[in-house]
Amino acid sequence: MAKLAINGGNPVRTKLFPAYNTIGEEEKKAVMKVLDSGNLSQFLGAWTHDFLGGPTVRKFEDDWSKMIGVNHSISVNSNTSGLFTAIGAIGIQPGDEVIVSPYTMSASAIAPLVYGGIPVFADIDPKTFCMDPISIASKITERTKAILVVHIFGHPADMDAIMAIAQKHNLYVIEDCAQAPLGKYKGKSVGSIGDLGVFSLNYHKHIHTGEGGVITTNNSILADRCQMIRNHAENVTAPRQIEDLTNLIGYNYRMTEIECAIGIEQIKKLPSLINQRLDNVAFLDEKLSVFPAFDILPPMQDNSVNTYYVYPIKFNKEIAGISRNKFVEALKAELPCAVLRETAPLIGAGYVKPIYLQPIYQKQAAWAFNPALYSGSVSYEKGICPVTENMHFEVLFTHEYMRPGMQPDDMMDVVNAVEKVFENINELVDDSKS
């Protein structure tokens, strides 16, 4: 008789895992205060005092700057719009190339296309899943203007090597920090190392305001350009007598007073949320590292901090005797989803499909690819980033069983489910039909 849930046996657990909910009384009170004031957004798209928003927006940005250790924070309505703003601010033009990661949320690669720039994919390092500096260096051409780095899964990218490449070739560096708020690279906060950092305050991230984002920089010229692109730049270039109008077409990417009021409270909670995550990671590291088919991340060195947006595991199918996909499907069947996330399992095979395999790249279906604008040649063929493809299609799986709110009992159910699948692996090996 089958023991594994995927074959009809009883699952290890059916009771939903605890919710991950960072919103509480503090946020409620802060929102009510804004509502009582009647001022839900003080922004004006004209060169006045209110061009930079109201008191709550400004306080939120100050608090964010202090947390990250930068001179300027510019709030925006998403990380996606923040990346668009950052690409605009550094002056990306049609025909320029920007080196991006293929293994990230789609927004980190699409941003150059909005300004007519061409995303060029560099492969990832199988140890960190972040872009590999050697691959980055091999993708540089005379058209390259910037590197868009992603601290994927919360793991800081190899910033010393990447900054050295950027310096040598005179390139801008933008850090996508959506998955790594308060992550550190050799003691420095991510988002304070490159020219610009971009964070997300979307519902699915460590902390959130529903939707939202923040750009960070120490460069006052770039900060100013971001502030203009966020808020109707074209209205202020004449009164400010700005001569270089490159990309100073403005959008409305503003956050509201309500969102920033929530954000101020969320900032206060972030250090403790990260510590809970790291405590849970330490618990699971100890329990999961004993399985010979699992290869988990080693502890961080040099004062660097991984903030574990997800927990990646490399699966060795030779040792296990079954494929990663079969293993993940079997484990998924043993474990429930979570409260507030009843339909999306906390585990998945791979992450997102290598981005260049999306139709927009396969068909080069964007105006930026028009040969009148772009004289280079870029390839999006399957095979251009073999490490990424191997990780995604064969080796890597990610889970979120270390989310704050998970107690040792909950995590032990996960460990027991893993143990159960390995103990009954014969049920999976023999099934040639699946």
Residue of the chain from 111, 120, 124, 150 that contacts ligand PLP (CB under 6 A): 150
Token pair recorded at residue 357: 């395999």
Nearer to ligand PLP, 80 or 306 (CB): 80
Nearer to ligand PLP, 273 or 335 (CB): 273
> CB 79 → ligand PLP: shortest distance, Å?
3
* Binding of residue 114 to ligand PLP (CB under 6 A): no
* Binding of residue 104 to ligand PLP (CB under 6 A): yes
Nearer to ligand PLP, 274 or 417 (CB): 274
Asked if residue 84 lies in contact with residue 287, where contact means CB atoms within 8 angstroms, the answer is no
* Binding of residue 231 to ligand PLP (CB under 6 A): no
Q: 336-342: which pairs have CB atoms within 8 A and are 24 or more residues apart?
A: 336/11, 336/13, 336/14, 336/15, 336/16, 336/17, 337/16, 337/17, 338/16, 338/17, 338/18, 338/19, 338/20, 338/403, 339/16, 339/17, 339/18, 339/19, 340/19, 340/20, 340/21, 341/19, 341/20, 342/16
* Binding of residue 107 to ligand PLP (CB under 6 A): yes
Please identify, among the stretches 103-111, 189-197, 331-339, 386-394, the one whose residues bind ligand PLP according to the rule CB under 6 A: 103-111
Nearer to ligand PLP, 116 or 212 (CB): 212
Could you give the CA distance from residue 105 to residue 183 in angstroms, rounded to a whole number? 18
Nearer to ligand PLP, 215 or 338 (CB): 215
> CB 355 → ligand PLP: shortest distance, Å?
11
Please identify, among the stretches 26-34, 78-86, 241-249, 312-320, the one whose residues bind ligand PLP according to the rule CB under 6 A: 78-86
How many chain residues bind ligand PLP (CB under 6 A)?
14
* Binding of residue 200 to ligand PLP (CB under 6 A): yes
- The residues that touch ligand PLP, with contacts defined as CB under 6 A, are 78-80, 104-105, 107-108, 150, 176, 178-179, 200, 202, 213
